[in-house]
Amino acid sequence: MRIERTQWDPAQNALEESLFHTANGYLGVRACPEEGAPAGVPSIRGTYINAFYDVKPIRYGEKLYGFPETQQGIVNLTDVQNLRLFLEDEVYEPLRAGEVLACRRTLDMERGLVTRFIRWRSPKGREVEVTVQRMASLAQRELFIMRYTVKSLNFSSRARLISREEGAVTNFADPNDPRVAGEALQHLRVEEVRPMESGGLIRSRTLASGLELAVAVGYALPAGFALSVEARPAALEARMEGSLEQGQSLTMTKYAVFADSRRHPDPAQAAPVILAQARALPVTHYETRQRELLEAFWLRSRVTVRGDEALQRSLDFSLYSLYCSAGRDAVSSLAAKGLSGEGYEGHYFWDTEIYVFPFFLMTDPALARGLLDYRHTILPAAREHARIMGHDRGALYPWRTIAGSECSGYFPSGSAQYHLSGDIAHAFLQYYYATDDLAYMAERGGEVLVETARLFLDAGHWHEGSFRIGAVTGPDEYSCVVDNNFYTNAGAQETMRGAAMITRRLMEAGLAGRLLAATGVTREELSAFLRAADAMYLPYDETLGIHAQDDGFLKLATLDLSAIPQEKFPLLLHYHPLWLYRHQVCKQADTVLAHFLYEDLADEDTMRRSYDYYERCTTHDSSLSACVFAIMAARLGDMDKAMDYFRRSATLDLDNAHGNTRDGIHTANMGGTWLGLVSGFGGLRVKADGLRLHPRLPGSWDSYSFPLCWRGSRLRVHVTDVGCRVEALGGEALTLRVYGQPVRVAPGQAAEVPLPREE
């Protein structure tokens, strides 16, 4: 399981910095050249901690009531990647001078290592091989390890390594791209630079949020090399010098520990302690633990496709990247770009709950629960956001955030996306259905469900006997501030029904004490939830036989997307928002997504007509779009179309299809890739009454398989051209529905279910 590049293309450098980054859910380091990129070569030097942020003001030409005044953004941290190699009077500069004889960069997804290998001939004829291995430890979240190996091929000389930790760093910016920060800012103030035995420490603090960071570094040197460490202005510099003989290989190991004040009461005290513990163990200890943890991950998570090696590699890359991006504590979640770059400024969106959460729910429920914990942690901020937006009760989760407050300054496609609260409620309900964990609902989930249901009850109104929600924006950001968005109303309906159901189950089980104390919810309020849900208005066009995206969408001017030049996509970068709002054009078709998530609201003919209609007006400018069309095409039996969309989703980052992977990987799309296979081709649905599968096999594949976890039991599903085999790997016996038929399996047993005749 590897991703490999054997040629260096200067134009692709920033892209490869994203693709070959190392991360562990807490810490992420971009794969920047240790010696620095040459002038004119795109490079975004970056190191990040999940949920470590600074605050900056939002500037408005005209500011109205309730507009967010500040936003949080992920902080570029102390740079520990700088390593310069000197061979006598020559500097190792493979990207600037001399001749690169061979090069290779590899991401090993079984070992959790990124390796950069270069064979180089200097201008004076010295030939050397340099191999750099990087690892963000999965066993010790604060630890980043670099192993720098130099091998002389045809010379003997003095060798000197200079390692520099730079504290005066800035964040990346592009004023012409709304998907990244518009202004390059320095967010860290260095407060202490302290040389220590075999290394040193840099202590910094964010300028506005006041969060503290401590970075401790230490070195393990080759025999005969001497080390000296000196403090520089806002930096540490370590010099290592010794002899390099012809044919000899020398390895220097650099340990860097990042500790922040959101997890450590005193980061400057914690970082040296963690560093000492790390250096007391051989590097092989961490390499072994990395391999063991990844072996367990792949065992419970890997989907396999027989008949398409390139697609398998893309699938592996997606799932590995998700595992390395997901926060493991209640203060962090999974950002839109993971920990690979600064796109969307490290913010968390609804993407996590709808596109990524299902993967973890069905493979690693404990990690999935941690993502829900984060949403419960920021529930007080969601309540406050609801008050700002004019609601006396309930919780409105922000469109984009890190610490809980709204970070979007453009409310039509930001705070107006009320569906966030429904998306988060949906994830809590899916967790309950898949785990039967009523205790978690008593502790946290029930409170989130009640508060989000209250939000929708307060946001809506009664009109002509139906319950309606006005002035919201659905997932399609090319249609903003609309009435009765189908996706939002469907999510609100599920939220209110789910809140009533969970509360009553807790009451019946005698577990409602904490929920009642935290929310004061009453039986009358639960009845109000159900009345509104039962009367929810879901726009439907009788003439077309489709669910309308909202009350006004089908009345807008149509648009011939084929007449728009390709260089004008994505449209949001080339057309004013109002121009987009006046046309039937979708960034992503949220009605099609609603038919996936809430499939019981429409019959198959309605789904098919809706799919065909919205496909004609969807640009897929959103990276979240192709996977949804793949899922629904498979659901409707159009396997060729499903495969076309699925490939688009699976290869998006490796092919840089959207042209912005330099800013980081697209984590939601990666989750969508898993959904495309498991929920699209596999027909997986998590329902209140159990687990359902309806697998189909694309014609170009020999077979595929995927593991699942359901209420503590482990399964593996194998799909071939004759049907489906469900194997129980552990846990208790369970019954699920395959092709609509009940199938019971017990540990150590398997059930063979033939493909239905109509398939």
Q: Mean pLDDT throughout 143-165?
A: 97
Q: Mean pLDDT throughout 133-152?
A: 98
Among the four given CATH numbers 2.70.98.40, 3.20.20.70, 2.70.98.30, 1.10.238.10, the one describing domain 2-296: 2.70.98.40
Catalytic residue among 166, 477, 494, 525: 477
Q: How far apart are CA 60 and CA 54, in angstroms?
A: 19
Is the whole model's pTM more than 0.95, yes or no? yes
User: What pLDDT does 181 receive?
Assistant: 67
User: What pLDDT does 163 receive?
Assistant: 97
Which of the four pLDDT bands, split at 50, 70 and 90, describes residue 642?
Answer: very high
CB atoms within 10 A of CB 77: 24
User: What pLDDT does 185 receive?
Assistant: 81
Give the orientation angle of helix 625-635 with respect to helix 590-597, to 10 degrees: 50
Which of the four pLDDT bands, split at 50, 70 and 90, describes residue 393?
Answer: very high
User: What pLDDT does 172 receive?
Assistant: 86
Residue 82: pLDDT over 80 = yes
User: What pLDDT does 182 receive?
Assistant: 63
Residue 117: pLDDT over 70 = yes
| Alpha-helix residue ranges (DSSP H) falling in 415-552 | 419-435, 438-440, 446-459, 486-508, 513-519, 523-534
Structure tokens at 205: 């603090």
Residues forming a β-bridge with 149: 131, 251
CB atoms within 10 A of CB 208: 14
Residue 35 CA neighbour count, 13 Å, CB half? 19
Contact present, 440 and 380 (Cβ < 8 Å):
no
CB atoms within 10 A of CB 717: 22
Residue 525: pLDDT over 70 = yes
In terms of C-beta distances under 8 Å and separation of at least 24 residues, what long-range contacts does 612-618 make, across chains too? Answer: 613/544, 613/546, 614/549, 614/586, 614/589, 615/589, 616/561, 617/558, 617/559, 617/561, 617/584, 617/585, 617/586, 617/589, 618/585, 618/586, 618/587, 618/588, 618/589, 618/592
Contact present, 320 and 290 (Cβ < 8 Å):
no
Max Cα distance, the chain (Å): 89
Residue 503: pLDDT over 90 = yes
Residue 320: pLDDT over 90 = yes
Report percent pLDDT > 70 for the chain: 99
Instruction: Give all strands of the β-sheet with 143-152 in edge-to-edge order.
Output: 2-5, 99-108, 113-121, 127-136, 143-152, 249-260, 212-220, 199-206, 188-196
Looking at every residue in the chain, the average pLDDT score rounds to 96
Residue 706: pLDDT over 90 = yes
Of 89-98, 107-116, 169-178, 429-438, which range is least confident? 169-178
Q: Which distant-in-sequence residues (6+ apart) come within 8 Å of 189 by Cβ?
A: 204, 205, 206, 207
Handedness of CA 334, 339, 340, 341 (dihedral sign): positive
Residue 178: pLDDT over 80 = no
Q: Mean pLDDT throughout 484-498?
A: 98
Report percent pLDDT > 90 for the chain: 97
Q: How far apart are CA 699 and CA 703, in angstroms?
A: 9
Q: Mean pLDDT throughout 46-74?
A: 95
In terms of C-beta distances under 8 Å and separation of at least 24 residues, what long-range contacts does 626-629 make, across chains too? Answer: 626/652, 626/669, 626/672, 627/355, 627/669, 627/672, 627/673, 627/675, 627/676, 627/680, 628/588, 628/589, 628/592, 628/593, 628/596, 628/672, 629/589, 629/592
User: What pLDDT does 197 receive?
Assistant: 85
Q: How far apart are CA 142 and CA 52, in angstroms?
A: 13
Residue 554 CA neighbour count, 13 Å, CB half? 20
Which of the four pLDDT bands, split at 50, 70 and 90, describes residue 331?
Answer: very high
166 carries an active-site annotation: no
Strands 703-710 and 304-306: antiparallel
Of 41-50, 102-111, 167-176, 190-199, which range is least confident? 167-176
Give the residue extent of every domain in the chain. 2-296
Phi and psi torsions of 602, nearest 5°: -145, 150
User: To 5 degrees, how large is the angle CA 394–CA 399–CA 402?
Assistant: 100
DSSP string spanning 674-703?
HHIIIIIIS--EEETTEEEE-----TT-SE
Q: How far apart are CA 604 and CA 611, in angstroms?
A: 10
DSSP string spanning 89-111?
TEE--TTTSSEEEEEEEEEETTT
User: What pLDDT does 757 receive?
Assistant: 74
- Cα-based torsion angle of the residue sequence 628, 631, 632, 635 in order, rounded to the nearest 10 degrees: -170
CA-nearest of 526, 525, 459 to 492 is 459
Distance linking the first and last C-alpha atoms of the chain: 33
Strands 690-693 and 734-738: parallel
User: What pLDDT does 183 receive?
Assistant: 65
User: What pLDDT does 13 receive?
Assistant: 96
Residue 533: pLDDT over 80 = yes
Contact present, 480 and 416 (Cβ < 8 Å):
yes
Q: How far apart are CA 331 and CA 378, in angstroms?
A: 8
From the CA atom positions of the chain, what is the Rg in Å? 27
User: What pLDDT does 340 receive?
Assistant: 98
The predicted-structure confidence for 333-360, as pLDDT tens digits, reads as follows 999 999 999 999 999 999 999 999 999 9
User: What pLDDT does 230 receive?
Assistant: 96
How far, in Å, are 127, 155, 248, 303 from residue 124 at the CA level? 9, 11, 19, 50
Q: How far apart are CA 703 and CA 302, in angstroms?
A: 14
Higher pLDDT, residue 177 or 648: 648
Contact present, 485 and 416 (Cβ < 8 Å):
no
User: What pLDDT does 174 receive?
Assistant: 78
Contact present, 693 and 724 (Cβ < 8 Å):
yes
Which of the four pLDDT bands, split at 50, 70 and 90, describes residue 275?
Answer: very high
Which of the four pLDDT bands, split at 50, 70 and 90, describes residue 184?
Answer: low
